Amino acid sequence: MKEQTADPIAIALREDVGAGDITTEFFVPNGLHALGRIIARERAIVAGGQTAAEVFRRVNPKLNVEVLQPDGAALLGGETILEVRGAAGSILTAERVALNFLQRLSGIATLTRQFVDAAGRSRAKILDTRKTTPGLRALEKAAVVAGGGANHRFNLNDMVLVKDNHLSAGSGFSGFASAIQRLRQERPAIRIEVEADRLEQVRSFLEIDGIDVILLDNMKPSEMREAVAFGKKKKVKFEASGGVTLKNVRQIAATGVDYISVGALTHSARAIDMSLELTHVGN
């Protein structure tokens, strides 16, 4: 079994298999071969097929794995997502970890697609956040893309996002503009976003050169619409955040914002119902 430092597949297998799969060792004869199929039991958008395939290969490189449904594929339920052929014991050892990744990531992709569809034909892009499972951020953000969403920053080094706590911990608004100017001089290519929870803040931020995006935090749709109107003459984009649900995302999108960030995409997605069926067992 291949193991790598900070490798989520290696970590998951080490966590699940431990010192060995005792059940398979005692109840599945050596030399027994089988065909395993992972099947979706409900409607879903697929994500994580290649990750699940890699789980099987890590357990036994001799397994023949074929991903039949690519990331982003829309399933009605009943379709086979992946087939794996080879040693029955190895398939059973890898089963749970492969399913955990595939169910979790497909759940994120499915929820993302629901938000994208619910937003309607607006220009607003549905974004994820950093509210991800520790160690699984790259996989979960890829699942968001598979569902039709887009990625916000991957980590704290990707872009600047100044929130109210940063202003409270720093020199307050008095030193804010000079900090923006200094940042633009030292890091001219960096994207700068600032958070506003009041229209007065939006007006103030629009007076400062160098800001790329203003995040409208927990504002009412009427306030968002007004904020967007303020910024029409500026090359500033607007992001809505806070309290976004499938019920209100279309109303938010209709305000004219450019982005809508939804933490629920990664922190509240329900795992999709899937199972592995073992067939054609033989020597």
Whether residues 144 and 255 fall in one domain: yes
- pLDDT given for residue 248 in this prediction: 98
- pLDDT given for residue 176 in this prediction: 84
Q: Catalytic: 250?
A: no
143 with 47: CB under 8 angstroms?
yes
- pLDDT given for residue 177 in this prediction: 86
Whether residues 263 and 277 fall in one domain: no
Assign residue 278 the CATH number of its domain. Answer: 3.90.1170.20
Please choose, from the candidates 64, 50, 52, the residue with its C-alpha nearest in 3D space to the C-alpha of residue 94.
52
* 172 belongs to a structural domain: yes
Whether residues 158 and 246 fall in one domain: yes
CA 256 to chain centre: 24
Whether residues 160 and 254 fall in one domain: yes
- pLDDT given for residue 69 in this prediction: 98
- pLDDT given for residue 29 in this prediction: 92
The phi and psi torsions of 235 (rounded to 5 degrees) equal -90, 55
35 with 83: CB under 8 angstroms?
yes
* 178 belongs to a structural domain: yes
Whether residues 168 and 236 fall in one domain: yes
Whether residues 262 and 274 fall in one domain: no
Q: Catalytic: 195?
A: yes
Q: Which residue is catalytic, options 54, 95, 195, 239? A: 195
* 2 belongs to a structural domain: no
Number of domains in the chain: 2
- pLDDT given for residue 280 in this prediction: 76
* 232 belongs to a structural domain: yes
Assign residue 157 the CATH number of its domain. Answer: 3.20.20.70
* 82 belongs to a structural domain: yes
Largest CA distance in the chain: 76
* 3 belongs to a structural domain: no
Q: Which residue is catalytic, options 85, 130, 153, 163? A: 163
Q: Catalytic: 2?
A: no
Whether residues 139 and 238 fall in one domain: yes
Q: Which residue is catalytic, options 21, 95, 140, 217? A: 217
Give the CA count within 13 Å in the CB-facing half-sphere of 51: 27
- pLDDT given for residue 168 in this prediction: 61
Which residues of the chain fall short of a pLDDT of 70?
A: 1-5, 167-174
- pLDDT given for residue 1 in this prediction: 39
Whether residues 137 and 260 fall in one domain: yes
Give one DSSP letter per residue of the chain, joined into a string. ----TT-HHHHHHHHHHTT--HHHHHHS-TT-EEEEEEEE-S-EE---HHHHHHHHHHH-TT-EEEE-S-TT-EE-SS-EEEEEEEEHHHHHHHHHHHHHHHHHHHHHHHHHHHHHHHH-S-SPEEE--S---TT-HHHHHHHHHHTT-B---SSTTT-EEE-HHHHHHTT-GGGHHHHHHHHHHH-TT--EEEEESSHHHHHHHHTSTT--EEEEES--HHHHHHHHHHGGGTT-EEEEESS--TTTHHHHHTTT-SEEE-THHHHSPPPP-EEEEEEEEE-
Whether residues 121 and 184 fall in one domain: yes
Range of the domain at 213: 116-267
Q: Catalytic: 96?
A: yes
pTM for the complete prediction? 0.94
* 1 belongs to a structural domain: no
257 with 202: CB under 8 angstroms?
no
> How do residues 49-91 score in pLDDT, each as one tens digit?
999 999 999 999 999 999 999 999 999 999 999 999 999 999 9
- pLDDT given for residue 235 in this prediction: 86
Q: Catalytic: 85?
A: no
Give the CA count within 13 Å in the CB-facing half-sphere of 149: 33
Q: Which residue is catalytic, options 131, 184, 237, 250? A: 131
Q: Which residue is catalytic, options 14, 37, 85, 96? A: 96
